């Protein structure tokens, strides 16, 4: 009896292969048979019962299994052993002849379905995969470009901030320097604006006159006392020719012109006066040249040599 049941069940599986396991969320025939006969463990029995409550399809399948195994009812016609055996032999021959047909027919339908729907599905899936890959590559490239751009912007901002800080520091230094210079200038101007009493006057004789005197000095040494801001140089003009205009030139010890100006006038006693500030002419050896304006050129009238020493 058991072999016949198995043969019938195998025939049904070959006829419709998808019914072998059915949907994954439905109970199998074996599970229903074991459940009906009480052959399941407690946990498995609870799982089957939990599935049967909402699943109408599995409840109908359980009813079919129960009808198959239950005892015949009183109103059913009982078949004899010989007719039953004859019917079973006929069914067995029919199973043998139809099994291959059902399998071939179902397989052809399945392959046809695969050839139509699955190819379209696979083509769509491949297309979606390619689109996703392209979108991912584009997104990755865009994200990398954005990161590089952000890094460049941040680097530029840091450089600008550093440059601004350096400019601000340099501006502060310049302002401090300007404040010091302004204070020094104002102090000097205030010192110069103050009247100075009894400014000293120093006589200078020309190099020719000094040589004739026989003193042996080549230059006149002038020592300016401490606290004296301005002093006067008196250029002795005794014996010098008279011109309408005069000019004076000051050179340093190396012969470089330090200062030159025209408009020098001769005093009534025949001498020339030059007022100097100790901040204008530095210490050291200097030479003053006196020129007379004689059109169309000027002539050198005298040279005066001196050495300045400022007392601190």
pLDDT at 23 over 50: no
Q: What is the pLDDT of residues 125-138, one digit of tens each?
A: 888 888 888 888 88
Q: Is 278 within 8 Å of 193 (Cβ atoms)?
A: no
What's domain 201-310's architecture?
Answer: Sandwich (2.60)
Give the Cβ contact number of residue 181 at 10 Å: 10
Q: How many residues does the chain have?
A: 312
Q: What is the pLDDT of residues 33-44, one digit of tens each?
A: 888 888 888 888
Q: What is the pLDDT of residues 71-81, one digit of tens each?
A: 655 565 555 55
**Least-confidence region, from 13-17, 225-229, 263-267, 296-300:** 13-17
State residue 22's pLDDT score: 42
Q: What is the pLDDT of residues 149-186, one digit of tens each?
A: 999 999 999 999 999 999 999 999 999 999 999 998 88
Give the residue extent of every domain in the chain.
2-71, 163-194, 201-310
Between 40 and 85, the more confident residue is: 40
- At residue 197 the predicted structure's pLDDT band, cuts being 50, 70 and 90, is confident
| pTM to 2 decimal places | 0.43
State residue 106's pLDDT score: 47
Average pLDDT over the chain, rounded to an integer: 81
State residue 91's pLDDT score: 60
State residue 265's pLDDT score: 94
- At residue 232 the predicted structure's pLDDT band, cuts being 50, 70 and 90, is very high
């Amino acid at each position: 009896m058991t072999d016949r049941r198995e043969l019938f069940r195998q025939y049904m599986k070959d006829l419709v292969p998808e019914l072998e396991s059915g949907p994954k969320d439905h109970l199998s025939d074996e599970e229903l048979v074991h459940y009906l006969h009480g052959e399941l463990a407690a946990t498995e029995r609870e799982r089957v019962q939990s599935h049967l409550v909402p699943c109408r399809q599995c409840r109908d399948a359980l009813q079919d299994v129960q009808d198959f195994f239950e005892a015949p009812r009183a109103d059913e016609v009982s078949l004899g052993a010989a007719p039953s055996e004859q019917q079973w032999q006929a069914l067995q021959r029919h199973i043998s002849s139809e099994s291959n047909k059902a399998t071939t027919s179902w397989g052809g339908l399945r392959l046809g379905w695969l050839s139509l729907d699955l190819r379209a599905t696979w083509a769509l899936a491949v297309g979606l995969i390619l689109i996703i890959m392209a979108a991912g590559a584009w997104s990755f490239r865009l994200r990398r470009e954005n990161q590089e751009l952000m890094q460049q912007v941040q680097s530029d901002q840091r450089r600008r901030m550093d440059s601004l800080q350096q400019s601000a520091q340099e501006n502060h230094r310049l302002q401090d320097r300007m404040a010091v210079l302004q204070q020094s200038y104002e102090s000097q101007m205030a010192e110069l604006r103050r009247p100075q009493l009894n400014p000293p006057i120093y006589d200078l004789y020309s190099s020719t006159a000094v040589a004739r005197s026989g003193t042996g000095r080549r230059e006149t040494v002038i020592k300016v006392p401490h606290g004296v801001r301005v002093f006067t140089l008196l250029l002795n003009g005794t014996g010098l020719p008279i011109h309408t205009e005069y000019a004076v030139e000051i050179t340093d010890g190396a012969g470089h012109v330090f200062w030159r100006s025209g408009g020098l006038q001769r005093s009534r006693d025949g001498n020339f006066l030059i007022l100097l500030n100790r901040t204008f002419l530095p210490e050291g050896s200097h030479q003053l040249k006196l020129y007379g304006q004689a059109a169309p050129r000027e002539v050198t009238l005298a040279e005066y040599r001196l050495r300045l020493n400022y007392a601190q």
